A and B are shown apart, each in its own frame.
Chain A
Amino acid sequence: MLVFSTHDAAVFLLTGAPFWGMPPGASLHSPAIDALMRTSLGILLGFLLLAQVLAFTGLFLAPRAKTRFSAPWRWGMLVVLVALFVWMTAVAEHLWTATSIAKAEANAVQVEVTGVQFEWYFRYPGPDGVYGRTRPELIDAAGGNPLGVDPNDPHSKDDLVRSVLVLPVGEEVHVQLRAQDVIHGFFIPAMRVKLNAVPGRVTQLHFTPMKTGSYAIVCSQVCGLGHYRMHAELRVVTAAEFAQWQAQQEAAQAEP
């Protein structure tokens, strides 16, 4: 059984995934993030193997009055490592500015994501661009109002609430994250984004999908017994398909 599993693991490592294992990135920033990840992993893996070799060869060396790893080498090693940390930090902070410190563009596609044990709901504000008011007393998932959208608010008439996230390719999306009950973790591996949805707060993230296709959305913060099965689909479509989808959904909602 062990041999079988070793074989399986080897097959996975050799074919199931590229050597660093990340699923193909599909967002604007994913090439830069992946490049930093690969380079950092590669360099640190090199240093860690070197350190392991040094540690274990020490076992077999004859004694010397002075260490073979003399002061200039030690200082050199420290300077190189600190320089590496500084370089990594500089590149990473530059990217962090682009992904998280910069705000979403004003014309970005707006979506509100709500985490509820153990579902994700996606709300589009509709043509008016404003989300209708929600009231906790109105929450009724079985009755078709999982977010408690208030029908008396005129802004809520054109709000679309769906359990699949559909987005147009090449356009930035501004996500406002909410949670009704406990903290959930909104994670789209292919878009390289993750942020917690926190009850009582609205957290915000933005990203730009660059490839059409279907991607997994999962929950990354333990939220209860159904945590593992709290997942949804992100469908990235062309701009035309997105406009058509939105119009269809609005029309379907307008008919009683």
Chain B
Amino acid sequence: MDESLKKRSRFRRCVLTTDHRVIGMQYLWLGLAAVTCGTLLSLLMRIHLVWPNTAMPGYGMLKPEDYLALVTIHGTLMIFFVLTAAPQNGLASLVLPGQIGARRMVFPVLNALSFWIVLGSLLVLLATFAVTGGAPISGWTSYPPLSAIAGAGPGQAMGMDLWLVSIALFCFGSILSAISVIATVLLRRAPGMTWMRMPLTVWSWFVGACMIVPAFSVLLAAATMLFSDRHMGTSFFLPAVDVVSGHILHRAGGSPLLWLHLFWFFGHPEVYIAVLPAMGLTSALLANFSRRPPISYRAMVYATIAIGVLGFMVWGHHMFVSGMNPYASRSFSLTTIAIAVPSTIEVILWLGTLMGGGLRRTTPLLFTLGFLSMFITGGATGPILAQPVLDSYLHNTYFVVAHFHLVMGMAGVFALFAAVYYWFPLMTGRMMNEALGKWHFWLTLVGAYAVFFPMHWAGLAGEPRHYAQLTGTAAYLAQLVPLQKFISLAAFALGAAQLLFVWNLLHSMRHGRIAARNPWQATTLEWSEAYAEDAPENAQTVMVGGPYEYSLPHDQAGTAIPCETIVERE
């Protein structure tokens, strides 16, 4: 073949592709790039918080506004590009069609387009650092008027505009991806793949996608409204009179609280969008590595759906101190306690599976346990924060930072690691190194607790979030400097431990042990022969059993995937 033609075809195969597996991997690479940036930004924050007078090589002294810019972009990267794009858009694209016996998604071009839009969104977000005034300083929640008025701070001019463009693009891309997931589950399930035979991962992605469409639509609308307040003289979120450093702004008169409602109407479902894939994955991997079906598949499905529905009724618990009516706080508090119930049911059922013993102690299993450990520890403070009267003390303190970094951040990241170690053979045909994987797990587990658990104390001691430094502020905060120094050092250790993963990933891609077709003896369809790349194009899988038909005592050599493959005649 002609050399240039070969190159073009490789470019087509790897870049301009509509192959859902490749798009899934593109999303995972994007997630890896975003998590790397986000982590580096957080390390800069950790340095500035406790050593505010340290000059950064090549930049000089970080200013308080630089710290807040780091906070904003760290949060945005992690929430959107890591915890949403990778586990929901990415893993669903990689694995979901295979798990339901589909060869491709219903809208392959839409799915590809979603990735390119999300990539564009990431580039626009990172560009905020390069524009005049730098990145926005209002945090990932961007409350107006701080986010609505360019004069309210550095980064609130061009930087804020770009942030809004980036968010709008992300919303659009994610909605396209979600539509593709929903349509594929509705239309492309293999014969015999009934709703109650769908893997729990598929249920999670499906419910997550059903949440993305309304949640991100509302965020898209809110971002558009804020953009319009900034440039078209509207006042959705601006009061009739606002005075910023001597400049009086007169508008028709809206309310900043409206933004909070719209933002958190998106923001709380978003938390579940980020964590649902991890929950599905945990059910699936615990079943596999314990070689037993989930204790109650139906309970897991109903809990997932309950979380999806209740997830839209709890947004006000982010607003207990916002000035909202205290009766509204009461009702949101009750729905929040209600959503703790399905999560508690899932945790109890997972623990039940674990107490059956006989676990295969693989790296993906360890990371699944890591997810569970983080989810439990972070989740335990949920019922405390759900009480308005306790939240009135804890809101916007490090207690909340500890809570969501454990229950969403670390839990989500542990699940992503589990997913990568587990599906690596599906992506590359090779295995990742198990010994390195286990070192990576234990160091990350200890590191994550060393970083995030002490933050509970900082919060209880009354340290607010978003403080650039602990000197030059209220005197009582100075006593927290030693604790925060410890957290900073632990954060460096935790960051360094991730180099093991990066090395393992890059090395195993080329030199890892060649994987068997079904290396974990799984019973879900993505590992079946019918789904292999060399399987005949017209092969049709027929599902003849449930997704997790494991049984003890088990045959170590392999497990039959409950499906039959029919090759249709031309």
Contact = CB atoms under 8 A, between A and B. Distances in A.
Chains A and B belong together in one complex: yes
Interface of A: 1-2, 5-6, 8-9, 11-13, 16-17, 20-23, 33, 36-37, 40-41, 44-45, 47-48, 51-52, 54-69, 74, 77-78, 81-82, 84-86, 88-89, 92-93, 95-96, 99-101, 117, 136-137, 139, 148, 177, 180-183, 185, 187, 189, 192-201, 203, 216-229, 231
Given A5-B482, A69-B352, A37 B242 contact: no
Interface in B54-76: 63-65, 68, 71
B152 A136 contact: no
Contact of A12 (B144, B376, B384, B479): B479
18 contacts: A5-B485, A8-B483, A22-B393, A23-B476, A52-B377, A58-B353, A58-B355, A59-B359, A63-B356, A82-B344, A96-B389, A182-B143, A182-B146, A196-B323, A198-B323, A199-B238, A200-B255, A224-B65
Interface in B138-168: 138-139, 143-146, 149, 152-154
Interface centre among A44, A78, A197, A200 (most CB of B within 10 A): A200
Contacts, number: 326
B465 A222 contact: yes
A185 B462 contact: no
A40 B387 CA distance: 11
A58 to B, nearest CB: 3
Interface centre among B241, B350, B482, B489 (most CB of A within 10 A): B482
A95 to B, nearest CB: 4
Nearest to A98: B389
Interface string B364-400: 0000010011001100110110111110110111000
A12 B482 CA distance: 7
Given A55-B351, A224-B137, A231-B473, A189 B482 contact: no
Given A1-B489, A201-B255, A17 B461 contact: yes
Contacts of A218: 462, 464, 473-474
Contacts of A200: 238-242, 253-256
A56 to B, nearest CB: 7
A225 B65 contact: yes
B337 A89 contact: yes
Nearest to B153: A224
Given A58-B369, A195-B392, 7 more contacts: A11-B482, A12-B482, A54-B355, A194-B321, A200-B255, A201-B257, A220-B465
A100 B390 CA distance: 12
A183 B326 contact: no
Given A61-B357, A189-B462, A93 B330 contact: yes
Given A52-B377, A58-B359, A183-B256, A88 B387 contact: yes
B516 interface: no
B146 A93 contact: no
Contacts of B388: 92, 96, 100
Nearest 4 A/B pairs, CB to CB: A200-B239, A63-B358, A61-B357, A58-B354
A44 B323 contact: no
B221 interface: no
A96 B376 contact: no
B326 A189 contact: no
B476 A40 contact: no
A181 B145 contact: yes
Contact of A185 (B377, B384, B464): B464
B289 to A, nearest CB: 10
A220 B395 contact: yes
B5 interface: no
B137 A185 contact: no
A22 B295 contact: no
A82 B345 CA distance: 10
B322 A182 contact: no
A192 to B, nearest CB: 5
Interface string B448-475: 0000001011111110111111101111
A81 B348 CA distance: 10
Given A222-B139, A225-B153, A216 B476 contact: yes
Given A55-B373, A58-B354, A229 B389 contact: no
Given A37-B390, A199-B256, A225-B64, A81 B396 contact: no
Contact of A47 (B380, B465, B466): B380
Interface in B321-348: 321-323, 326-327, 329-330, 333-334, 337, 340-341, 344-345, 347-348
